Amino acid sequence: MREAMTAYLYHLLIALDQLANAILFGHADETLSSRAWRVEQKGRLWGIVLRPVIDMTFLVITLGADRHHCQSSFESERLRKQLPAEFSAEASKGTQ
C-alpha cells in the first residue's frame, strides 16, 4: 500500500510540474526541470538563471543525492523513462 501511495504522489508531482510548464508556454509532456536544462544549453537567459535554482533546490531536498536534477530530468524525458511499460515500443509489438 505504501509503494502505491509513493508512486501516486510521484506521478501527481510530475503531472503538476508538466502543467506548470505548459502554462508557461512549454510542451505539455515536459517538466520545468527538463526544459530549464534544455534551454540553458541553447544559451537562453531564463534557463541560465532557473536551472541552477532548480538543481540547488533538489540538491537540498535529496540531501545531496541529486546533484544534476535538471540534466537527469532531460535525459529521462528524452529516453521516455516515465512511460508505463505498456507504452514502450517493445510492448506494443506484441499487440499488433
Tell me how far apart the alpha carbons of residues 24 and 7 are, in angstroms, rounded to a whole number.
26
Residues 43-95 have pLDDT tens digits of 999 999 999 999 999 999 889 899 999 999 999 989 887 777 787 765 556 55
Residues 3-32 have pLDDT tens digits of 999 989 988 989 999 999 999 999 999 999
Q: Is 26 helix (H, G, I), strand (E, B) or coil?
A: coil
- Whole-number Cα distances in Å, 9 to 3, 6, 13, 34, 47: 10, 5, 6, 19, 27
pTM more than 0.85: no
- What is the CB-side half-sphere exposure of residue 3 using CA atoms within 13 A? 0
